[in-house]
Each structure stands twice: as structure tokens, then as C-alpha cells.
Structure 1
């Protein structure tokens, strides 16, 4: 985008980030939102808790700066910041909740990130960014090379370089990164990780915009249902197939891989144990940044799920309206028939050449079949004296959920996360489907468990008769709290 005079003038009038930078109480807004949402990576917060935190901050500022500096209440400030002319917060009501919640807007997060960049950093690292540029350029050239011979030569050159590096290491000739290089790379990792969290909020905002457009079209649509669905699915596919959508999908698939998460956890733990990094001013939240990514990505996935739910509700409403219209037409035909029942036509009003005809009038067909009423015998007969086995009444299966939870905790003692398939692999199902359903109940009530609908797992077990059974279900991942 070219930053000409007209573009900048429009941004100054309409962009929430620009309005935040020139606001009278910008220090209050930025400091509060940064400490409340960005630092702890809180995606959504209920209104009572947010008001309480803002009231505490306002009390401290009034004690230090005077009572006249911020005369309004916390609720008034929050409602004002969420107004359309400000656009710094998003106020909404989650499904099945009558309590307002707040979240940052992408424009506000961008403005806060720009203000953070104005503060003086301990040092400005350039080497890591230059190496990143070179590595990205190499990947672009290598990834677009269609000549097999050229790619083979490049791979052979890389292999030769690796062999030479192995020989140097075996001879004891290798270099270690100094403290400056380690801090430079750590700073680049921290900056990129925080930018990813900001990107999640922007991707979620794009899907919310699509959801809003769909609701508006459904509310005002007067044409055929097929045309509306074609337009809606076209817009959704356009976002999913865009560069942003494909990149987000690839990122989410890689992040949901247990192997990738274990590797990332191990790498972060080793990096934080380095002396150069431990003595460097750092964001300790970076050590659990992949869990923040999972939380942010799950919010985005829920937004997409709500869009699908809105489409399904629209289809159900349309089917109900069509059935209602058919019933109204049938009732109209019945009413007209009843009106002319006493005034039957006279004379020859119908004739055929055949001696007889099998005529079935539409009104002779029943509109519905009456349900059959069972005939109940009120007399009680004396049963025979044969004994009836009551063993089946006592052979009930009791699933011990505490034992299943203990098995999950045992698997998480050596790993940061484990899938349900891994748990069952170490502790096979003893009671078949009933025990599997108990695992699903535990995962549904555990806030640290994730359901990945993009991957399907197959779980097999052997029943009492020796037959093998299997069930297919979305991948369930238990994460160590």
C-alpha cells in the first residue's frame, strides 16, 4: 500500500490504532491493555474481572495523580473503549452466556507492539536476521527448482559440506556460539513468537468478518437458497484457499503434531538453561509459548465452527419454512373441498370411452397413518415355577474414572503431552467401549485436553468373545498442566 496523503488521511480518521495513539488517555489504555491481555496472553476476559482490574489501576493512579485525572468509572471506560468510534476492545456475548466478555482488536495489538518497539532495547541484533534472510532465500530457490539434476547437485553439495563438518568435529576443530550470538538469536526467537500470537488474533478477526457478512446476507436474502449457499461457501473457500488460510492451516497441522510439540518443548528447555540466555533480560512466558499458540489457535478454530453452525441453522430454518408452506397448501385444499361438499356438480361432468376406470382422487389418500395402539391385557397370569437367573442384574460394568485419570497422569510424567491412543497403547482397554466412553468424558471435562478434528485416530480392543472391535474418533491430546 502506498502511503500517500489521501491514504494517510483516511487512516487517521478511521483506523483504531491511530486513534489510540492520539487519544488523551492513551497511556492509561495502552498500559492497562498491555498488562491485562498481551503480557499474560489472555484472549478473552469476562466483564466483572476486567472491571475489577481496571478499578484497581484507577485507584492507584488517583492516589498518585489526583482524583480529577480519571473521573469516570471502570465500566464507563470499558464501554467507551469498545464503542465503534474507538474500536480498541471487542465486546461480545459468548454462546450460552449472558455475561459480556472483552477481547483486544488486532488494530490495538498492532499499536501496542509499535509502542513497544520505541523503547530502547538492550542491544539490536542483526546477525540472526541476516542469516534468516539467507536461509529463506535458499528455501525459495530450492523449493522452485524443477530440474532434477540441479537439485541432486545441490543436495550432494550439502552432503559434502556436512561430511566436512563431521570431520572437523571429529578432529576437535569446531566453533561455539558466543554470548552475543546466543542473545541475538534468542531475541529474534522471542520477537517472532510474539508476532505469531498477534497474527492469530488478526486471522480470527478475518473469520469473524466473514461470519458477520454471512449473517447479514442470510437476514436480507430473498432469492433462492442454493444461490445464497453457493455465495457463502465461495467466500469461505476463498479465505481458506488464500495465502493466509493455507499458511495458517499448515502452521496448525505442524503445531498439532505431538512430535513437533515434544521437540519444541525440549529445545526451549535447553535454550533457557544456557548461561548466556539465563543472564539476559527475557520473557519467561516464551518457555510455554507453544501452549499459548494452541490456545490462540483453538479460539480461531471455534470461530470457524460457529460459522458452520450458523449455516446449519439456516438450512434447518429453511426446511421448516418449506414444510410449513406445504402444510398450509394442504389445509387450503381441504378447506375448499369442505366448502363445496354440499354443492356437488349435477349432470354429466365426466366421461370416458372405457366401460370403467380406476380413479383415485387426491383427497381419498390419508394425510397420515394413525399409530397402532397396543392391546394390553389387564389380567395377570400366574407364572410357572421355573427359576429365572438373576445373574445378569449383577453383571454390571463399573468404570473407575479415578484409575483412568491416574493412567493419564502416569503417561504425562515423562512427556509434556500424550494422545489418547498412546495412553490406551500403554494401558489397553479392559472393558471395551464403556471404558473408551469414560476416557471421552474425562477429556470433555478437562480444560487441558484438546480435540483435533483434523486428524482421526483408530482405537482397537478385544471383547469378551475374542472379537476385535475398533472405533474412529478425533485425536484427543492430554497436556500436562
Structure 2
């Protein structure tokens, strides 16, 4: 066990939220409510849910007033619940965040989770498996010795020993045809141990999340400090992140997170859980704690909280950089505006300035895209071919006919076309209506004419599907539009 300094112990007892819960006047109320509201310590609840549940709980126990938490006799239970949630958040019992749509949510802090797990661990267990714990310690000791030795020959010797043990076990199974399995006194403590370890794992995730949040707070504090430059703030940030990632805790979390998001793990995990629970049911062993069944999702959700804290920190860094760039751009704009104003004022003064530049030799001026001065006479360009006059008269031109033609689209006719199709079908697309009435005969204008009278009918647009309408059969020209469904 590590040693503590006196000041370190004083600081923990004075500031640790876990100690504050246990030394609160209404600690029984706090612990009882948190255990009932958060049976799964990894889950979060909306503010409305938590507020309503706490108000009902206060009313059920008839809590009238509490000086420690500023609860007055005249306060309604809704007001008391609101005050308590705010107070518990300030003391570090709860932590709040907003989800993707901005709704406030609350979850247990790492300190509260550890307190509840510790409290649960104090409950007297019906069965204490010293045998399974000793075997676990012994196996971990063997594993630690194996994986701290870098001697190749020693590793081969260990693996050969495992190989002989496996071969011996296989031979015994083939000869006897019997399989040794754990007895109930061996199964129960191992199952409890897996559950306890899984809960500790969730607590470790929250510890990493808390570290990211602490770095974010430090960034905000240093950014608001006018004595520090943005370069110093960013340097502190990246150094802090780098230290966290290189720490034992950070390395362990990121390695485990990569393992957790493996697609194959979910399938294997679910198979193992279902197989284990099935065997327990066969042996009629009751499972009081079903925490293990949802641990995969709980770990993933808690890990996402860590990444959200990381994203907030990255967003703050990005904001600092953007603000730095925008400030530089604004200062540059102001400087250019001042220069322009000075130039305009100078140009309005009639007298010439006393400033000049004297050159010893003729300047070399090179203006790109400028016409060069030359004494050579420009050659006249002669054309050997003359354009031929079109034999047809202008009025006989087909293009002129299209331009000069006055096309009048009768909306009454188009309206009648739609009504005729709707009477027959009840519902049809615009493309079907045009096809039913002989297609488009007056070009694109006719199609736009249909568009202009859509307001007279019930219609919907299906942007996921396109329709093609042929408006020029000679040139095979079509227009693509979203499908328009017209109904009576």
C-alpha cells in the first residue's frame, strides 16, 4: 500500500465528493435515492425524469426542511428537488451534460459511482469464494512472471509446459470420456468477481472522462488569462493531452477502446454471455446481479462520454485558433482601411508632396500584358475568303420562326387535361397526365404552363424519384423534374 502525507490525507477528507456524501446530514436520503434512480451506474437520465423522481421521493419521506441544503418549509417538493439537484451537482455527486438535441442530462460522477460500489461491497455476502480468489491471484502471478521475462528460452519453456498440460488433459478426456466442471461453490464467486471487475471498469472510464474535463477547464482558465498568449495556451493544451495519452491510464483506455469497438467482439461477447446464463439456468443457480448482461453497451456508452469530453476540448482548441486568425484578419482590414483613407486625403490636397526618389540610371519597367512600343508599321490583315450570303430570306429561317412565334398556352386546356386524367385514375403523376393527353405539342412553354396551374390541385413532390418529360420530339429533348403526384 502506498504511503500518504498528512496534507494529502487532509485534502482528500476535505475535498473528495465521496467523503462529502458519507458525512452529509442526509446521507441516507442521498444514497437511497441515487441507488434507486441509478440502478445502472453507467446510465444517464434527463433533468425532467430526475427532477420528477426526486420530488416524488421527497414527498414520500415527507422531508420538510434541511438547513444544510437550504430547503425551506414553505418550498414545494418541486422546488426542493430542483435545489437538491443543483446542490448535488455543485458538490460533485452528479455531473450534467447536454445531448445531441440540447436536452440536459445527469449521470453519476466517478466519485459517487465508487461510493455506491464500495457500499455494495460492504454488504455481507452469503458466500465468500476464497478458493476462486486465490486461484485468480495465483494465475495472475504466473501471467505477470511470464510476461515480464524477456528470455526467449524461458518463454519457450513455459509454452512447452502449457502444451504438455493441454495434451495431458486431452488424453484424459479421450480415455475417461468425462469432463470436469466447476461446482456451484466455484461458479458463484467467479461470477460475482466478473461483475465487480466490470463495475470497476466503468468507474475507470469515468476517471479518464474526468481528466479530459479537467484539461478543458484549465484551457478555459488559461485562455481567459490576459497575461498568457494563445501560443502558450495551445502549448499547455497539447502537452497536457500528450501526458494523458502517454500515462498508464491513457494507454490502457485507448487500447481497450480499440478492442471494444471491434465488430467481432460484440458477436463473441453476446455468445459467451448467452451460453453462460444458459448453463447457470440449467444448474438452477440464481443470478441476483444481471449487470454483466448489459456491460458491453454500458462500456461503449461510457466510452462515448470520454470521447465527447475529448471533442469538447478539441472544439475549444479550434475556437482559440479561429479567434486568433479572425483577430489577425480584422486588424489587417483596419490597417488597410487606414492606409486607403490616408491615400484619399493625400490625393485631395492640390500641392505636390516634397517626397521623391532619384534614380542613377533609367529604370527597367516590365509591364505584363501591356502593348509594347515599336516603330514598325503594323501589317494590314487581308482575308482571302468572303462570307457567303444566305440564300433564304430571313423570314424563312426556322430559327427566326421560333423566336418570332407567339405561343399562347391555354391554361383552360391544361386544366381540363388534368381533370380528365384524375376522373379516370383518381391520382396520377404530371408525366402520366401529359402522356394521357398526347404529350407536349407546344414545347417547354407548355410544361411550364402545367407548373403554373398546380396550385389549383392537391399535389406532392417526391424528391427521391425523377420523371422525364419529352417536350421536343424532333430533337429528342427532355426535361428532368422531381416526380409530382396530383390528386383530386
- Number of matched residues? 371
Partner of 1:186: 191
Partner of 1:31: 32
Partner of 1:141: 145
* Residues 234, 8 of structure 1: alpha-carbon distance in 2 compared, 3 angstrom cutoff: closer
CA–CA separation in structure 2 for the residues paired with 1:74 and 1:168: 65
1:357 deviates by: 5.2
Report Cα offsets for 1:259-283 as digits up to 9, x if no partner: 2221121111111122477533421
Q: Helix, strand or coil for the counterpart of 1:393?
A: strand
1:108 aligns with 2:112: yes
* Residues 287, 235 of structure 1: alpha-carbon distance in 2 compared, 3 angstrom cutoff: same
CA RMSD, Structure 1 to Structure 2 (Å): 2.9
1:215 aligns with 2:220: yes
Partner of 2:61: 61
Larger radius of gyration: 2
Partner of 2:94: 89
1:393 aligns with 2:393: no
User: Does the 8 Å contact 1:34/1:112 carry over to 2?
Assistant: yes
Any unmatched runs of 5+ in structure 1?
A: 361-379, 397-481
Partner of 1:305: 311
Q: Which moved more, 1:139-148 or 1:208-217?
A: 139-148
1:280 aligns with 2:286: yes
Partner of 1:236: 241
Any unmatched runs of 5+ in structure 2?
A: 368-401, 406-442, 444-471, 484-488
CA–CA separation in structure 2 for the residues paired with 1:348 and 1:214: 51
User: Does the 8 Å contact 1:128/1:188 carry over to 2?
Assistant: no
* Residues 253, 347 of structure 1: alpha-carbon distance in 2 compared, 3 angstrom cutoff: closer
User: Does the 8 Å contact 2:41/2:108 carry over to 1?
Assistant: no
1:162 to 146, 160, 166: 166
Q: Helix, strand or coil for the counterpart of 2:107?
A: strand
* Residues 106, 347 of structure 1: alpha-carbon distance in 2 compared, 3 angstrom cutoff: closer
* Residues 91, 350 of structure 1: alpha-carbon distance in 2 compared, 3 angstrom cutoff: same
TM score, norm. by length of structure 2 = 0.69
Q: Helix, strand or coil for the counterpart of 2:480?
A: helix
1:337 aligns with 2:343: yes
TM score, norm. by length of structure 1 = 0.70
CA–CA separation in structure 2 for the residues paired with 1:41 and 1:388: 71
User: Does the 8 Å contact 1:214/1:232 carry over to 2?
Assistant: yes
User: Does the 8 Å contact 1:183/1:280 carry over to 2?
Assistant: no
* Residues 149, 331 of structure 1: alpha-carbon distance in 2 compared, 3 angstrom cutoff: same
User: Does the 8 Å contact 1:36/1:42 carry over to 2?
Assistant: no
CA–CA separation in structure 1 for the residues paired with 2:213 and 2:284: 40
CA–CA separation in structure 1 for the residues paired with 2:355 and 2:21: 87
User: Does the 8 Å contact 2:42/2:202 carry over to 1?
Assistant: no
CA–CA separation in structure 2 for the residues paired with 1:54 and 1:20: 17
CA–CA separation in structure 2 for the residues paired with 1:301 and 1:43: 16
Report Cα offsets for 1:151-195 as digits up to 9, x if no partner: 112111111111001001111254221111011111111111111
* Residues 391, 139 of structure 1: alpha-carbon distance in 2 compared, 3 angstrom cutoff: farther
1:314 aligns with 2:401: no
CA–CA separation in structure 2 for the residues paired with 1:218 and 1:330: 29
Matches within 5 A, 1:429-448: none
* Residues 219, 252 of structure 1: alpha-carbon distance in 2 compared, 3 angstrom cutoff: same
Report Cα offsets for 1:434-472 as digits up to 9, x if no partner: xxxxxxxxxxxxxxxxxxxxxxxxxxxxxxxxxxxxxxx
